[in-house]
């Protein structure tokens, strides 16, 4: 019984499991896994800041309360089924815009352009990782 090898698990998930899915349908799964991993990282940083400072980072808790308030307003306005339908519609639009194909702008030139939001959404997710990290460690610098 050895220890859990995280790199091997990443290898299996990234190189074996994703390869089973046809190339055309990989991007929605990548987007869903990116959002889920961002949520997991957020929860991890709350736990880590609680271990380091004795209490969770106030800034992360404010961020969590803001998201929960928006979801609560959605549920109060449209009910649970309506809020779920709106969230599913927004997720569907986001996945559609994330996976739009690349097209050739001019037939004479070798310029390829994409109508998708693939790079923009990945940039926003990366920025949110940085924001979460900074918000977790702000109490270390501000007393």
Q: Work out the angle between the directed axes of helices 26-53 and 118-141 (0-180°, nearest 10).
A: 0
Tokens 């799964």 appear where?
A: 29
Q: Which residue has the tokens 């986001």?
A: 94
Six-digit token string for 49: 């800041």
Query: How would residue 112 be classed by pLDDT, with cut points 50, 70 and 90?
Result: low
113 touches 105 (CB < 8 A): yes
Of 39 and 109, the one with more pLDDT? 39
**Cβ atoms of residues 44 and 56 within 8 Å:** no
8 A C-beta contact, residue 139 and residue 46: no
Express each pLDDT in 5-16 by its tens digit: 667 776 777 677
pTM beyond cutoff 0.85: no
Per-residue pLDDT, averaged over 129-133, amounts to 93
Percent of the chain with pLDDT over 70: 81
SS3 104: strand
Q: In angstroms, rounded to a whole number, what is the distance separating the alpha carbons of residues 30 and 99?
A: 10
The CA distance from 21 to 30, in Å, is: 11
Mean pLDDT of 79-105: 83
Confidence category of residue 23, pLDDT binned at 50, 70, 90: confident
**Cβ–Cβ under 8 Å, residues 115 and 103:** yes
Cβ atoms 137, 49 nearer than 8 A:
yes
Find the helix or strand (DSSP H, E) in which 113 lies: strand 112-114
């Amino acid at each position: 019984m050895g220890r859990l090898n995280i790199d091997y698990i990443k290898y299996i998930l990234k190189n074996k499991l994703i390869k089973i899915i046809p190339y055309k349908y990989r991007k929605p799964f990548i987007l869903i896994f990116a959002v889920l991993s961002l949520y997991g990282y957020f929860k991890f940083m709350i736990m880590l800041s609680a271990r380091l400072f004795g209490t969770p980072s106030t800034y992360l808790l404010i961020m969590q309360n803001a998201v929960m308030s928006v979801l609560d307003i959605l549920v109060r306005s449209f009910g649970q089924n309506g809020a779920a339908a709106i969230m599913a519609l927004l997720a569907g639009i986001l996945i559609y815009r994330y996976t739009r194909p690349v097209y050739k702008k001019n037939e004479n030139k070798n310029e390829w352009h994409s109508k998708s939001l693939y790079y923009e959404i990945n940039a926003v997710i990366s920025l949110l990782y940085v924001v979460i990290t900074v918000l977790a460690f702000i109490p270390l610098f501000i007393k």
